[in-house]
Structure 1
Amino acid sequence: MRRRGKIERYKLASVVILALLLVTTSFSCGCLKSDEGAWMKVTDDLGRNVTIPHKPERIVSLAPSVTEILFAIGAGDRVVGVDEISNYPPEVAEIEKVGSYARISTEKVVDLNPDLVVGAYGNGIETIEKISDLGIPVVGLNPRTLDEILDSINLLGEVTGCEENATRLTNEMKVTIDRVKNASKKAAHRPRVLYVIWHDPLYTAGNGTFEDEMISIAGGENLAADLPGYSIMTLETVIDRDPEVIITTSGGGMGVEEANISYEYILSEERFADLTAVREGRVYVIDADIACRPGPRIVDALEEIFRFIHPELCEGEEQ
């Protein structure tokens, strides 16, 4: 009986030691995460739960705003593929292209052997799911406000291991946003602003867009604030509402000859000749690559929009 007791005590001791070894190993390897060993789990802007098995070393960007964010937070040296519209920073010109923003080549993405793909709502959920179904982690972004743009930057900082850089960047962006907010409070008048994304038909940014938010922060009244998202506005409505400031976008992947086409249309359209903005020479052009991309340079667009709307508050500043 004593021998049996010794054997049982030996077995019990062995089990305890084994358990302690397993616990110690789990702590040392970080294996006690709820995601069963994955490096990270996140929920993206599309409501998808994404598991990232390890720190990404080969990243493919499917949107120009994503590309700018990745480089701005210090993950640019790990980007191995980008969409054809990505053109900033300049070094992306040498990176492999995987198709246009709305027509991504899944085959080209797979050929680059990425361990993380970052896309946007505009890529199409079908494209994002198709890549994801191949076992490649895909994070989808869809920011619609300035705060959500900041959140997107912090999310990519998290999934790439560049949290500190992302936090530093978003804090700097917040400073700029607050500076414009405070400056615009000094305005005696909030002029009516028409923001033209395209002219034929005339597309503008309504409520629920970051362009609408920028106009408001910069001290203007969006002429299309009662329209949902990106909407068509008739010429008759534009004339009836009589904008005091018109901001047109250029760039956005267009050729040089087309860059200012919306601006030129506004000035040449005879029915717009009596608009306050046209009569007073307050029709402006803003680079769409800066103003229409929900990325780090959006605060540069905000500052420029503020200068367009309230030049009287910017006197003495360097342009």
Structure 2
Amino acid sequence: MSPASSGRIVSLLPSATDLLVALGVGERLVGVSHSCDHPAAAGRPVLTRSIIDSGAPQAEIDQAVSAAVREGRALYQVDGAQLDRLGPDLVVTQGVCEVCAVTPGTIESAVRYLPGCLPAAQVLSLEGRSVAGILDDMRALAAAVGLPERGEALIRQSQAEWDAVRPATHAPRVLTLEWVDPPFYGGHWVPEQVERAGGLNVLGAPGTDSGRTTWEDVTALDPDVIVVMCCGYGLAENVAFADAVLSHREVRAVQHGEVWAVDANALFSRPALGVMRGAGVLADLLRGEASAGESVRVGQVPALTT
């Protein structure tokens, strides 16, 4: 697709918005999702909403999501009429996780009986489930907006950042948590980040989905470090979620004050270039070094140690 034909872009995925801005085409955005929080998305028409109350307690969110999945209900709704009126040339979505963002099937359902949008638009579904997959998504997106050379330059820069991560040398056993009530361990690219940082990932495998576990299993795994990176949240929210982990005093990481919170949105949850920086943040915290604004050792927050 040529740059001219992909002039009007709708991003229904926060990571896609981040990648589009990195490519220098943020000004082409004509619509975004409710989760797109990059400054370039401000003021753009919002085309999606979640059927789940994100402000509810984690256990209630988990129950609501599980019920919706069992019943075959989409977790997100798309404003098909507004999407149709915008007439985009390119719509970017994802096929990795129906819990995280809008999928192509949801878009098709929203515009099925409307006069024009999708037949005239390219729908690009990003599918990256690994670090290499994220870079492949960047390549595909760059081609779709007519900037393949810019995409390749960003890929080389990102690979260099990944390769430059200085791993911890003592190889602690690390558990990453994408949810704490109930606990879900990190998947997709997160195990790669842990390994690149010099840790031994105790649960989850590169390129596979995250999954549910139990606190009994967490105790049996005996991790040296727990990193709380609840999907969809920044550092402040993850500090609060990590606070709840401190009640599990039977876990080695809790006993030794090695429970950390990180900015999941910027560094871990989203298949975007921030994942490279995330590996560096993990390496720092495995050496006991907090990264300002990006990680906090929760057991050392004064309000949590009294």
Q: Name the TM-score, length of structure 1 as normaliser.
A: 0.72
2:146 paired residue among 122, 142, 161? 161
| 1:82–1:293 CA distance, 2 compared to 1 (3 A) | same
Match of 1:14 in 2: none
Corresponding residue for residue 285 of structure 1: 261
Distance of aligned partners of 1:274 and 1:211 in 2 relative to their CA distance in 1, 3 Å threshold: same
Tell me how far apart the structure 2 counterparts of residues 127 and 134 of structure 1 sit (CA, whole Å): 15
**1:214-256 residue CA offsets vs partner (Å, 9 max, x unmatched):** 1111111112136952111111110111111110025725897
**In the superposition, relative to structure 1, how do residues 221 and 149 fare at CA in structure 2: closer, same or farther (>3 Å)?**
same
**Percent of aligned positions with the same letter in both sequences?**
28
Matched residue type, 1:152: D
- How many residues matched? 253
What is the distance in 1 between the residues matched to 2:49 and 2:128? 20
Q: Per residue, is there more helix in 1 or in 2?
A: 1
* Structure 2 alignment gaps of length 5 or more: 51-75, 112-116, 297-306
Gaps of 5+ in 1: 1-38, 41-51
The verdict on how the C-alpha distance between 1:302 and 1:61 changes in structure 2, with shifts beyond 3 A counting, is: same
Contact 2:31 2:44 in 1 (8 A): yes
Q: Which residue of 1 aligns with 2:276?
A: 299
SS of the equivalent of 2:92 reads strand
> Deviation at 1:69?
0.4
Paired residues of 1:251 and 1:287 also in contact (CA < 8 A) = no
- Match for 1:111 among 85, 93, 116? 85
Q: Cα–Cα, structure 1 residues 203 and 91, in superposed 2: closer, same or farther, change >3 Å? A: same
2:204 aligned residue: 225
Give the aligned partner of residue 28 of structure 2.
78
Aligned residue among 119, 126, 140 for 2:105? 126
Distance 1:104 1:307 in 2: 40
RMSD: 2.6
- The match for 1:24 is none
In the TM superposition, what is the alpha-carbon distance from 1:273 to its structure 2 partner? Answer: 1.1
User: 1:249 and 2:229 equivalent?
Assistant: yes
Q: Quote the Cα distance in structure 2 between the aligned partners of 1:141 and 1:305.
A: 25
* Contact 2:177–2:230 (CA under 8 A) maintained in structure 1: no
Distance, in Å, in 1 between the alignment partners of 2:131 and 2:107 is 24
| Residues 1:289 and 1:87: Cα distance change in structure 2 (over 3 Å) | same
Aligned 8 A contact 1:82 1:98 in 2: yes
Q: Label 1:259 to 1:286 Cα distance change in 2 as closer, same or farther (>3 A).
A: closer
Shift of 1:92: 1.4
From the superposition, tell whether residues 283 and 229 of structure 1 become closer, same or farther in structure 2 (CA, over 3 Å).
Answer: same
- Report the alpha carbon displacement of residue 304 of structure 1 after superposing the two structures with TM: 0.7
User: How has the CA–CA distance of structure 1 residues 87 and 133 changed in structure 2, closer, same or farther, with 3 Å as cutoff?
Assistant: closer
TM-score after normalising by structure 2: 0.75
Q: C-alpha distance in 2, partners of 1:246/1:143?
A: 25
Per the alignment, residue 134 of structure 2 pairs with 149
Deviation at 1:166, TM superposition (A): 1.5
Cα distance, 1:129 vs. partner? 3.6
Cα distance in 1 for residues equivalent to 2:205 and 2:93 = 30
- Conserved? CA contact 2:93–2:126, under 8 Å: yes
Question: Equivalent residue for 2:184?
Answer: 203
Distance 1:96 1:226 in 2: 38
